[in-house]
Amino acid sequence: MVDVNASYASQIVLFPLADYWPFYIGFIAFVLLMLALDLGVFHKNAHEVSTREACAWSAVWVALALSFNFFFYKFALWKLASDPRLTSIPGFNPEAAAQQSALEFLTGYVVEKTLSLDNIFVFVVVFTFFGIPTLYQHRVLFYGIIGALIFRAVFISLGSILLQYHWIILLFGGVLILTGVKMMFAPERPPDPGKNPLIRLFRHFVPVTSELHGQRFYVRLKGVMHATPLLLALLFIEITDVIFAVDSVPAIFAITKEPMIVFTSNVFAILGLRALYFLLANAVERFSLLKYGLAIVLIFVGLKMVWLNDAFGGKFPITWSLGIICGVLATSMAISFAVTKRQTQ
């Protein structure tokens, strides 16, 4: 089992921003390059994304995430082994710390990827409500993800500061547990974009067309600038992502306290969300029991924050966390498919 001295791990940040800001700049430049290639080259012209194309792009984003994780492990091993701040600590093992960091990235990526499945259900409702055809859905999701990346960066920055206080950790852990319990027992109510107060407020101040105007978010009619339903769909998606971030960001901080790992795993999970949507949008009804798996995951990571980490000397074993999370999600998905198949028959 890979583990780092618990007392050390609970007190020191392996990758402080002050020392690793070139890494952040390089990573953000890579993300911007991928987004530019995505919209400016591969999806320059609006078109319906086929299942085959969505499957290929999903594989690309997952492969990039796993490749980054391997690169991150090698990078961490090199940097940690040459950091006098760490090597002066008796018993510090750079290889164990690098492996621990890579496992934390993988676990965080799995958690964020699965929690983002909830977004797919919302996307289906939003696009249906506003009558957004498949032809223009990729454009809405592209700009929605840019906004999500910005919001996540803000939430992660705030979280890295707030979670230095133990009572905040207990508070966030309690919120995750309550959210999981509510998700498990509360009846499902699909969101109604038309009743959202921010959407209603926006419509009060900005005129909105009743029909689409291609892939434009704004259009000038009789000298007056109007928003299109495409913009309303984008606005609602951004609102829901902020709501989801309240759960997902504390969830990954329960896995790792390293802001670098939290940020990079979040980004990779979000980047692959569009392809995952087009891959699963027509099959969301098959995941009828997935919400129970997600609820158990939230309860588990909440327990890690309020109890399990302290019970295991400051850090619950990351290999156990990865196994439990993957096992719960795989089981809930398998049962969902079995139940759906039986109902269909």
Q: Across residues 262-274, what is the average pLDDT?
A: 91
Which amino acid, 140? V
Instruction: Examine the pLDDT at 126 and tell me if it is beyond 60.
Output: yes
What is this structure's pTM? 0.85
Confidence of residue 7 (pLDDT cuts 50, 70, 90): very low
Confidence of residue 283 (pLDDT cuts 50, 70, 90): low
Of 43-52, 140-149, 308-317, which range is least confident?
A: 43-52
Distances (CA, A) of 88 to 18, 91, 96: 19, 9, 16
Mean pLDDT highest for which of 12-26, 63-77, 150-164?
63-77
22 Cβ neighbours under 8 A, 6+ residues apart: none
Query: What does the domain layout of the chain look like in residue ranges?
Result: 22-167+187-284
Q: Across residues 150-179, what is the average pLDDT?
A: 87
Supply the pLDDT for residue 46: 67
Supply the pLDDT for residue 22: 92
Supply the pLDDT for residue 234: 92
Instruction: Output the six-digit token pair for 100.
Output: 């621990």
Give 228-273 as a DSSP string.
-HHHHHHHHHHHHHHHHHHHHHHHHHTT---HHHHHHHHHHHHHTH
DSSP summary character for residue 165: S
Instruction: Examine the pLDDT at 345 and tell me if it is beyond 70.
Output: no
Instruction: Examine the pLDDT at 288 and tell me if it is beyond 60.
Output: yes
38 CB neighbour count, 10 Å cutoff: 18
Q: How many angstroms separate the CA atoms of 205 and 163, rounded?
A: 38
Q: Helix, strand or coil for residue 14? A: coil
Give the containing element (helix H, strand E) for 176. helix 166-185
Supply the pLDDT for residue 309: 84
Which amino acid, 266? N
Q: Which residues of 185-195 are buried (b: 16+ CB within 10 A; e: fewer)?
A: eeeeeebebee
- Which of these, 23, 60, 55, lies nearest to 38 by C-alpha position? 60
DSSP summary character for residue 304: I
By the 8 A CB rule, do 238 and 202 touch? no
By the 8 A CB rule, do 297 and 329 touch? yes
Q: How many H helices and E strands in the chain?
A: 15, 2
Confidence of residue 105 (pLDDT cuts 50, 70, 90): very high
Q: How many angstroms separate the CA atoms of 256 and 321, rounded?
A: 11
Q: Give per-residue pLDDT as tens, 192-211.
A: 787 888 888 888 888 988 88
Report the mean per-residue pLDDT for the chain.
85
Q: How many angstroms separate the CA atoms of 195 and 174, rounded?
A: 29
Between 175 and 189, the more confident residue is 175
Between 53 and 110, the more confident residue is 110
Q: How many angstroms separate the CA atoms of 286 and 342, rounded?
A: 11
By the 8 A CB rule, do 260 and 15 touch? yes
